[in-house]
Structures are given as C-alpha cells and as structure tokens.
Structure 1
C-alpha cells in the first residue's frame, strides 16, 4: 500500500506574510542567518507580528548546518520555551530549525504548537517536507532525516523575499528544484499524485528559471519558481529522491560544493546512467520530455531522453554554471583521493533506496569520473 499526504497549509502570493498577524500572545522564536537578521527582510517579518507576542531571534545558522549549531539551538530553545517557531531563510535555516525541533522535542525541552517555514530561496522545498540534513564536520558525512513530525504546519511563500537573490544562487537553487522534481518522478515510490506535482514543477522550472536568472526583479516569474520549488518538495516528500542526491550529499560534505550546484553537475550523468540501466526509467524520462514540449510523440525514448539532457545542459550554460567539479573549484586530486569514500557513503545514503537503479561501487566511481 502507498500513501500520499500534504500536511502543510501553504499561504502564497503577494503580501502573504500578512498571515502572521493571526499569531497573538505567543513566545515566537525566529531562526535565520546573520545576513537576514541584519537586513530588511527580518524587520518586515517582525513587523507583521502582533505586539502582544514575545519575539526571540536565533542567528547561529550556517550552510550545511553542523551538529554543533543544532546543539546550540537546542540549548537556547530550553531557555526560551517557544510556542511558535518560524524558520526564515534558505535550506540551511529551515534544516537547522528542523534539527533543533527534533532534538529539543526528544529531550522534552520544548512544546511548540506551530512550526512555520518561510523560504527566502526557491530551492529546497523544505518548507513542506519531512526532510532535514545535518552534517558531521568531523566525519564529513551528511545525515538526512525523514520524519513526518518535521513537516512544518505552515509554509509562507512570498516571492518578494526572493527578488534580491543573486543570479548564481538563483541558478543553484533552481537546479535543486529541477533535480527534486525529476528524481521524485522516476523514484521507485512515485505515484500518480507525486508525478502530477513533479511534472508541473519541471514545466515551471524549464520555463521560468533562466528568466529569474536574467531578471531577478520580475515578481511574476519569481512566484512561478517559488511555487515550483514547493511542488517539487511535496512530490519528493512522498516519493523520496534517488542517486543524484545520494552522491550530492557526499560532495557537499567533502568539498563544500553548494547543494544545488552539486545536483546540477551530477544531473546529466545520472539521467544517462539511469536511462541506460532501466528501460522503465528511460520511458519516464522520455515522457517528461514530451510533456514539457522538449520531445515529440514521434521521437524514440532514446531521442527524447537525449533532448531532455541537452535542454538541462543548455540551461546550465545559459546561467554560466560550472559543469564539472574542477570548474567548481575542486582539485582533481582531492576528488580521486576521496572517491572510494564518496562511493561507499553514497551507497549508504537515505535517498538511494528509492533510486530506480542501484549502482555498484565501481559504477558510482565511474559516474564521479564523468563530472571531474
């Protein structure tokens, strides 16, 4: 038996932050990074909260949130005793908030009634998922957690919060959206429900991502990408992900390659591998290409998959994204030195069980060699 659920209430559109006015007489804890805390965005958020609330801010947020930062947050949570927790920022802020929520609850330090996620990038989809990723900097391993209790109660999608995202980050996070949607679509756990969300997310991303890169101030295009990100999150929350993320997690932990960029660099090689190894998966990739207007019904599956891959590569080139780890600043010798470890850890990654293919250790190394 399969199941499908969307727990999170989603507020979207212009001025959707106004929904925060409904919160009154609460201990409100906002988790964001220092950059957002020092900017206008946080003040705009606080300005929407009723004066009857006690508002506290936690800013100990960094990329690839490590265990130490989560522990710091757990300690702070015990002192504040928040009733409402707001994760405000990109994937790192939301992942940090989820990690704090999980461990603080286990240690009986908090009793949060409402968990709200407000993404300021269009990328992770974490505002509607049960997933979080915590990094152990000592072992250089990323640990994904998938627990329904980590799904936020509400997500607020206000595209005005993303119009100032720089082009390079727009590209990286947007390719993360595309990878989420495609991996959910070909997942072993995919269903008609997740396919519908994945298809729409891919369509929106292919149409609007490069436009957002070219003109980040276009609010209408930003709204489309913000929606695409959340829909991809809804899809992979139920269908999970696959090989692409299994490897990307290791690249981020070992070399600090931004997560979306790691996924983007891998995507062409992983699609090629999956399509070659599994004909049913090749069929699904081909169907995605046809649905998105990249291929026609008369094209063979092989041709359709090739056209999909070419479209993805063209998008990356348009956005001047690195195509290899070397282009991304990772020395070849470092990759070769860590290749066995990366392959071993990728095979243990929580995203791999739903991959349509299960590569051998050697095949994983061959995929890595393609992206060096």
Structure 2
C-alpha cells in the first residue's frame, strides 16, 4: 500500500506574500540570513506584519552547523513565538525547521505555526519533511527526517526571486531538475509522485534557461518557483537517490554549492542507473525505461530506450553549457588529490546516506568511486 499526503498549504503566484498580513497580534520569530537584512528583502515581510510583535534571528549561514541551531533554540526559548517565519534559501528554511523541532522536543514549547518563504527556486524545502544540518568538525551533513518538520504554510512569490544572480539561478534550477528526476526513478515512485515530478521536469526544461538569461522575466521566475515546489512534493513522497547521497558528502567535505554538485553528478548518475551495456542487449532496467520516458515527454529523440537515455544526458549537458556551469569538481577549485585521498570515505558515507535506499540500483564502493573519477 502507498500513501500520499500534502500537509502544507501552498500560496503561490504574484502578490501571494500579502497573505502574511492575515497574521495579527501574535509573537513572531523571523529566521533568515544577513543578506536578507542587507538587501532589505526583509522589509517585504515586515510591512505585512505591523500588527504583531516580532524578533529577527539573522545569523543563518550556508550549510547551517549544529552550533547555529543551538543558538536559534536559545533565541526561540527567549522569544517564545507563536509563529516562525523562515525567509531565505534552503539553508534558512532547513535551519528554521531544526530550530523549531528541537525547541518543541527540548523546551516543550507550545505549538508554533511555521511559515516558509523561499527566496530561491531550488530546494523545495518549503514542502518537505527533510532538514540537512552540518557537523563542521566531522565534515559531514546529517539529514533530519520527520513529518514534524513540514511547514504549515509555504508562500511562493516570484517577486522574491527575481534578483537572484544568474549563477545561483543555474545552481538551484539544476537542483530542482535533479530532485524531480531522482524522484521519478526512485524505487518508491508512484503515480502521484510521478505526476508531480513530470510537471517539474517540463517546467525546468522550458523556463530555467529563460530565467538564467533574464532574471526580470517574472513569468519564467514564477514557473521555476512552482517547479521547485512540485519537485519537493515529489521527492518528499518518493525520496531521492545516489546523486544526492554523493552530493551530501561532497558538500560536507568541500563546501561546493549543493545544486552545482548535483548538476555535475547528474549525467553520470543517469548513465550509471540506466546500466545499458552492449548494443545487442535489450533487457533494459526500469530506470532506463523511465529516463527514456522523460526524453519522450520532453520531445527529445527517444526512438528506443538507449537513444532516449542518451538524449536526456545530452540535453542536461546542453543546459549546463548554456548556463556556463562547471562539469568537473576541479572547476570548482577542489584539489583532485584531495578527492582521491578521501574517495573510499566518500563512497562509504554515500552508501550509508538515506537517499541511497531508494536509488534504482544499489551501488558498491567501487561503483561510487568510478562515478567520482568521472567528475574529477
């Protein structure tokens, strides 16, 4: 038996941010990062909550470490908010999730309404039960997984993403594509998650390049914001795969942006999962067939399974080229020797990552090292 639920209310489209004006006479804790203050993006929130008292915790950094979560819990204990608003990218929303969850468990706080407002179109964190926290001492990322982490409300207003720099648009957009493709071929995929993943893939392939080339294109920005959320809903239900498992480890070790790492890995993971060997072999895996399905609904050449998989890989490489994205870790200022020295540890950690369980093919240490060798 399968189960499909959507807890989070989603408010989306131009002007959707105005919905937070419905919060009245409540104590609010806004969790965000310093850039939201410096850029005055925070003002777009504050102008709608004038009838409530609020405090801002703006210490969020990329890949939020455990120490930061502890500081946030201390602030939450002092403020005792009735509402938490997470404003920012995946790091801000992930940190807010962890702060809220630990506050409930450790401090036994009252029920807190949780509103997530993403300012990048990438993680889908506003509708997922995942949060990723970093242990800087061990150089590792730890995913927290619980339905208690799901926001009550997600607000997707494209006005908040139109000033995102093009290189971040590229990174986060390819993260969306990776989420959707991994959910689509996951061993937990089902008709409902497939429908969400398929729509997300179509939107990314139609609108990502447009947003990269013209960030002021609000219609394209809206479509990418929706795609990010749709992909989040898909993988929250179906989970992900080894692409994310390896990316989690590389991110923890080398601090390459998560979406960029996913993008570098994606063509190689697709080829690994498809597992097409020899031109005379027609005993294709389910993953290969589903990759070919993606090529088909994108209108790419998919005259047979082999051609469909290759077409999808080539389309991804074409998108990377159009957005001037790196395709090797060495282009991200990582010393190749450092990767070689740590390859066995990286492979072992990736195999243990929760995302690997739903990958269509269970990797060995040697197979992950082979993937690493291709992206050096």
TM-score by length of 2: 0.97
Report what 2:356 is aligned to: 352
Measure, in 1, the Cα distance between the counterparts of 2:165 and 2:288: 35
Q: Secondary structure at the match of 1:336?
A: helix
**Matches for 1:217-256 after TM superposition, within 5 Å:** 217-256=216-255
Report what 2:106 is aligned to: 107
Q: Secondary structure at the match of 2:354?
A: coil
**C-alpha displacement of 1:276:** 0.5
**C-alpha displacement of 1:109:** 4.6
Q: Which range moved further: 105-114 or 160-169?
A: 105-114
Measure, in 2, the Cα distance between the counterparts of 1:121 and 1:27: 26
1:325-357 Cα shifts (integer Å, max 9, x gaps): 001111111111111110010011011111111
Measure, in 1, the Cα distance between the counterparts of 2:325 and 2:126: 26
Q: Secondary structure at the match of 1:198?
A: helix
**Matches for 1:38-53 after TM superposition, within 5 Å:** 38-49=38-49, 51-53=50-52
- 1:70 lines up with 2:74 in the alignment: no
Aligned counterpart for 1:300 among listed residues 298, 301, 304 = 304
1:272-329 Cα shifts (integer Å, max 9, x gaps): 0000177111000001110111134xx1101001000000000001000000000111
CA contact (8 A) 1:187 1:242 kept: yes
Report what 1:340 is aligned to: 344
Report what 2:7 is aligned to: 7
**C-alpha displacement of 1:38:** 2.1
1:22-74 Cα shifts (integer Å, max 9, x gaps): 1011110100000102222101111011x331111001100011100001101
Measure, in 1, the Cα distance between the counterparts of 2:46 and 2:103: 24
- 1:281 lines up with 2:280 in the alignment: no
Measure, in 1, the Cα distance between the counterparts of 2:316 and 2:77: 46
Q: Secondary structure at the match of 1:142?
A: strand
How many residues are treated as equivalent by the alignment? Answer: 369
Q: Secondary structure at the match of 1:351?
A: helix
1:246-285 Cα shifts (integer Å, max 9, x gaps): 0000010000010000000000000000001771110000
Query: Which runs of no fewer than 5 residues in structure 2 stay unpaired?
Result: 277-283
- 1:19 lines up with 2:19 in the alignment: yes
Report what 1:213 is aligned to: 212
CA root-mean-square deviation: 0.9
Q: Secondary structure at the match of 2:95?
A: helix
CA contact (8 A) 1:82 1:110 kept: no
Measure, in 2, the Cα distance between the counterparts of 1:24 and 1:109: 24
Measure, in 2, the Cα distance between the counterparts of 1:268 and 1:140: 26
Measure, in 1, the Cα distance between the counterparts of 2:310 and 2:167: 26
Q: Secondary structure at the match of 1:48?
A: coil
**C-alpha displacement of 1:146:** 1.3
Report what 2:281 is aligned to: none
Cα separation, partners in 2 of 1:109 and 1:35, compared to 1, 3 Å: farther
CA contact (8 A) 1:77 1:110 kept: no
Q: Secondary structure at the match of 1:181?
A: helix
Aligned counterpart for 1:363 among listed residues 367, 370, 373 = 367
Q: Secondary structure at the match of 2:331?
A: coil
CA contact (8 A) 1:82 1:112 kept: no
Query: Which runs of no fewer than 5 residues in structure 1 stay unpaired?
Result: none
Q: Secondary structure at the match of 1:121?
A: coil
Q: Secondary structure at the match of 1:265?
A: helix
Q: Which range moved further: 117-126 or 5-14?
A: 5-14
